[in-house]
Amino acid sequence: MKKNILTLILSLSLIVGFSLVALTAPVTLQFNINTEPPTLDPALTTDTTSLLVVGQIFLGLTNYDSKTGEIIPELAKSWSVSDDGLKWTFQLRNDVVWTDGTPVTAHDVVYSMIRMLNPKTAASSANLLWVVRGAEPYNTGQGLVEDVGIKAVGDYTVEFTLEHPVGFFSALASRVCVTVPKQAIEKYGAKWIEPENIVTDGPFKLSEWKHQDYLVLAKNPDYYNASHVSIDKIYCPMVVEASTAMAMYEVGKLDCLRDIPLEDLDRVKNDPILSKELHVTKRWGTYFYGFNAKKPPFDNPLVRKAFASAIDRKSLIEYVLKGGQGPAQTFISPGIPGYIDGVKEGIGYPYDPEMARKYLAEAGYPNGKDFPKVTLMFNTSEAHRNIAQAIQQMWKDVLGVEVNIINQEWKVYLDTLQQNTPQIFRLGWMASYPDGYDYLKRNFYSTVLENYVGYKSPGFDSSVDELERETNPTKRMEAFLKAEALLCDTDCAIVPIYYYTMQELAKPYVVRDFTPTINDVPQFKDWEITK
């Protein structure tokens, strides 16, 4: 009798114990981040891995809702702009704390922005803040920190005074204005980002980091909206080899997979289980070929138009890329403010072999006769090579011209683009923040470094200046239309080819959406695991 009661009690406690464990077992997501993040300091991040982790553990002033296309509050609960467009005032939440318990205040924001502009920090994205008064001189070592127009008014209000009106400053703030902890940086110096030292304020915190191996993000219970976050732990291995990551996904060691190896795509699409787990996510980036208008024969706009019209984007996407990409006739990606639908507005050069041949004939090379041999360059990669070979063939078939294709290792390629821009070269652009100004200014404004095509159009420059300062959305769109029309149509300085997409595999128990995000940073705080 005693023995039976004992057994009963033991079994009951085991059952209760296991149920409790099941109830309290942490909800874990296994997500591959591919490589070791070079840094987790928001001022120094440029690569997508670092940005992914930073995006989970730090807060920006604002954020971007891709579904509504609106800038939404984050650290700042509201903001306003003065009538002359020069002063932006952000009211901060007063319930945000660092993981060490201290409150996040306006002084932290000012400290972070000044630190980013400090030339000694050598922050990579500091130039995005040059719209602030006094920022550029201070950042380039020619001005005083006292003259920088960023001030705290009390503990929870920050004022930015700009050089000139900037209509999209709140969009800029979502990416650039990330607050960092002064107390940790001053105490630990460069090592402040190590897991034992780091202090953060975002929905997740860094709980473990074994370099080159994996890192673990844990839910931050002090996050101001912690009740909304349902994932407790994110385990992030760093597996660089795509086929290995694919195998790990198939045995259940990864819950999501972003880089599906091209050779596995057909198998995945035909597999009854995997095909249901495949999703195509649009990305805010554009793949394009640029023409060096300083090198003949591309100094002739007719030649550029001929080459642009001979590219069959649909076939390229269907047979070479196979990723559900969108064909592109304009430069800014769909979903980013400033996007112009090239087909609807009649801007850009769709595939038209007849017109292509006509342009080339008008340029003086009927059927490609006497056309000099030209070079197309790209940075070494299987994908770029496949695209280049396909397009090389299209140019030969439609226009009768010979194009030589050459590839170079990435850093050598960047150097070549700057020192000796090839006649045709491949590049891509990913949005740095949710506004098309970034696309146009950073690549094709006459005075910027990255303007490898050597585009010098006063009309384009003035449209870009206008859409930078204009706050009226209708007038802004008119300026975007004008700029894209000049860039992709009238002057045909580049030929946009496709808008990036990402093919992702996700286990059915991962409840998430597949909308694009800036720099592809997943919004883990909105995901759920139903296991």
* Cβ atoms of residues 505 and 277 within 8 Å: yes
Query: How many residues bind to other proteins according to rule CB under 8 A?
Result: 54
Indicate the residue among 304 and 426 with the shorter CB distance to other proteins.
426
Question: Shortest approach of other proteins to residue 345 CB, angstroms?
Answer: 28
Identify which of residues 92 and 440 has a Cβ nearer to other proteins in the complex: 440
- Asked whether position 414 contacts other proteins by CB under 8 A, the answer is yes
Contact partners, residue 428, CB within 8 Å, separation at least 6: 285, 286, 287, 288, 500
CB 44 to other proteins: min, Å = 6
Residue whose token pair is 């040059």: 130
The pair of structure tokens assigned to 475 is 């007038």
**Which residue carries 């008119």 as its tokens?**
478
**Alpha carbon separation from 519 to 5, 52, 280, 285, 429 (Å, rounded):** 61, 8, 16, 9, 11
Which of the residues 289 through 318 are near other proteins (CB under 8 A)?
Answer: none
CA dist., res. 296 & res. 65, Å (int): 45
Please pick, from the candidates 89, 91, 127, 392, the single residue that binds other proteins as defined by CB under 8 A.
Answer: 127
Binding flags for other proteins, 496-525, as an x/- string (CB under 8 A): ------------------------------
Nearest partner of 235 among 221, 251, 253, 250, judged by Cα: 253
Residue closer to other proteins by CB (options 191, 475) is 191
Figure out which of the listed residues 193, 274, 403, 497 binds other proteins, where binding follows CB under 8 A.
193
Neighbours of 399 (CB within 10 A): 24
- CB contact at 8 A, 45 and 51: yes
Q: Kindly tell me which residue out of 86, 247, 278, 363 binds other proteins, with binding defined by CB under 8 A.
A: 247
Q: Based on CB atoms, which residue is closest to other proteins, 194 or 232?
A: 194
What span, in angstroms and rounded, lies between the C-alpha atoms of 96 and 179? 11
Binding mask 353-392 vs other proteins (x if CB under 8 A, - otherwise)? ----------------------------------------
Identify the residue whose tokens are 């057909």. 266
Q: How far is the CB of 251 from other proteins (least distance, A)?
A: 6
DSSP string of 313-328, one letter each residue: HHHIIIIII-S-PEE-
Q: Where are the alpha helices (DSSP H) in 228-300?
A: 242-250, 262-270, 274-277
> Closest Cα partner for 281 from 432, 504, 65?
504
Question: Looking at 8, 25, 122, 383, which residue binds other proteins (CB under 8 A)?
Answer: 122
Site for other proteins (CB under 8 A): which residue of 33, 41, 98, 169?
A: 41
- The CB-of-502 to other proteins minimum distance in angstroms stands at 17
C-alpha–C-alpha distance, residues 33 and 504, integer Å: 13
Window contacting other proteins (CB under 8 A); options: 59-67, 123-131, 399-407, 479-487: 123-131
Complex with other proteins: residue 2 or 411, whichever CB lies closer: 411
Question: Among residues 23 and 251, whose Cβ is nearest to other proteins?
Answer: 251
Q: Is 208 helix (H, G, I), strand (E, B) or coil?
A: strand
Among 238, 302, 355, 481, binds other proteins (CB under 8 A): 238
Which helix (H) or strand (E) element contains residue 93? none
Our finding on whether 140 is near other proteins (CB under 8 A) is: yes
In angstroms, give the least distance from the CB of 457 to other proteins. 21
**Cα torsion through 494, 498, 500, 503, rounded to 10:** -160
Q: What is the number of alpha carbons within 13 Å of residue 276 lying toward its C-beta?
A: 6
Q: What is the residue whose two structure tokens read 């170079």?
A: 408
Return the range that interacts with other proteins (CB under 8 A); candidates 5-13, 240-248, 385-393, 503-511: 240-248
* CA gap 118, 317 in Å, rounded: 45
CB 501 within 8 A of CB 326: yes
* Least Cβ distance, residue 424 to other proteins (angstroms): 18
Nearer to other proteins, 39 or 105 (CB): 39
Shortest reach from residue 127's CB to other proteins, in Å: 5
Is residue 241 a contact point for other proteins (CB under 8 A)? yes
By CB under 8 A, name the one of 147, 409, 471, 473 that touches other proteins. Answer: 409
Q: Which residues bind other proteins (CB under 8 A)?
A: 35-36, 38-41, 44, 46, 119-124, 126-127, 139-141, 190-194, 210-214, 237-241, 243-244, 247-248, 250-251, 253, 409-412, 414-416, 418, 428, 432, 442, 449-450
